[in-house]
Amino acid sequence: MTDVNPAESVPHGLKPVEGDYELSNFQFRSGDSLPALRIHYRTLGQPRRDANGVVRNAVLVLHSTSGSGAQFLGPDFAGQLFGPGQPLDAGKFFIVLPDGIGHGRSSRPSDGLRASFPRYGYLDMVSAQHRLLTDGLGVDHLRLVMGTSMGGMHTWLWAEEYPDFMDALLPLGALPTQISGRNRVWRRVIIDAIRNDPAWRGGDYQRQPPSLRTALQVMYLMSSNALLRFQEMPTLKKSDAGLDAAIDAVMPLHDATDYLYLIEASRDYDPGPRLEQIRAPLLAVNFNDDLINPPELEILEREIRRVPGGRMILTPSAANSRGHDTMMAAAVWTQHLQQLLNITSA
């Protein structure tokens, strides 16, 4: 699943700097606003400016649905990317790991507004990320934008919303097309389960409604591949026990209205009409055993042809594949990231 507890110890002895940036009178695309929108973030390394004062080493890493910037601090990600001599060496790069609207320690419905919280979309989340960088951290240029799953979709939107802001783009586990088909169906199952749950009470509940468990079970189903799940759960008894244990572990980390909002947020995602407007080199990495972005649809193969300077990699199924969650196994795709950095270096 994309749910990841903050790492108890970050690999390589790295010590993230955490902070909050408050966006005053934030305007959502819906027309709603908040007097103060809090965006939490973590950074590694220090920004470095060129002779003109432009930051040249900043890297924006965007997290998955229901995750946070903390998900990138474990050994399978930070341990492969952020250490000395690794592709995103924190001694050389300024790495920014924000929590998206509604996620992590950023402003969320569960902070108090519940169902009165503005219904945010992916475009709102990307706009807030941009303001965090420019107004909050003084970053006026990015060496790289990359992200996993929802963060990969945000990477596609960054490519179109701010086409001259970055040197390179690496969306992982995402497709540059409107949410539809099975990808929409599993999201609707979660949305309907929560909104139609009498215990949800329109967001006015004292304890988490049963539909939150259903939502987490659906996410668990979609995140891995069939082979790995069967290896973990070769009998009926082990399957039930494994599912229960996995959901019990993440239930305390979530709130039903938060989960409803973050699933609904994908409704405005549709980079398809503007793919030809992307300017920075882009490498899309997807996975052959990904249930959420099934390769047999050949969407990425078709759409990448419309992206100037766009390339794609479809990693094969292998012993270290995890389905959709291969996005968090950096060892599988690190070499492709390094190649992208090499070909876009000054």
Q: Over the stretch 248-288, which tens digit does the pLDDT of each residue have?
A: 999 999 999 999 999 999 999 999 999 999 999 999 999 99
- The amino acid at residue 123 is L
Per-position DSSP letters for 196-252, written without gaps between them: T-TTTGGG--SS--THHHHHHHHHHHHHS-HHHHHHH--SHHHHHHHHHHHHHHHGG
In tens, the pLDDT along 91-150 reads 999 999 999 999 999 999 999 999 999 999 999 999 999 999 999 999 999 999 999 999
272 contacts 176 by C-beta, under 8 angstroms? yes
Phi/psi of residue 301, nearest 5 degrees: -60, -40
- Between strands 94-98 and 33-44, the pairing is antiparallel
96 contacts 61 by C-beta, under 8 angstroms? yes
Q: What are the DSSP E strand ranges found in 8-69?
A: 17-27, 33-44, 58-62
pTM of the model: 0.96
Four-point Cα dihedral 157, 106, 31, 122, nearest 10: 20
4 pLDDT band, cuts 50/70/90, is very low
Residue 94 tokens, joined: 């300024």
In tens, the pLDDT along 63-92 reads 999 999 999 999 999 999 999 999 999 999
- Between strands 144-148 and 169-172, the pairing is parallel
Q: How many C-beta atoms surround the C-beta of residue 172 within 10 A?
A: 29
Residue 136 tokens, joined: 């909050």
Q: How many C-beta atoms surround the C-beta of residue 244 within 10 A?
A: 12
Cα–Cα distance measured from residue 130 to residue 139, given in angstroms and rounded to the nearest whole number: 9
Residue 34 tokens, joined: 């908040």
Q: How many C-beta atoms surround the C-beta of residue 74 within 10 A?
A: 20
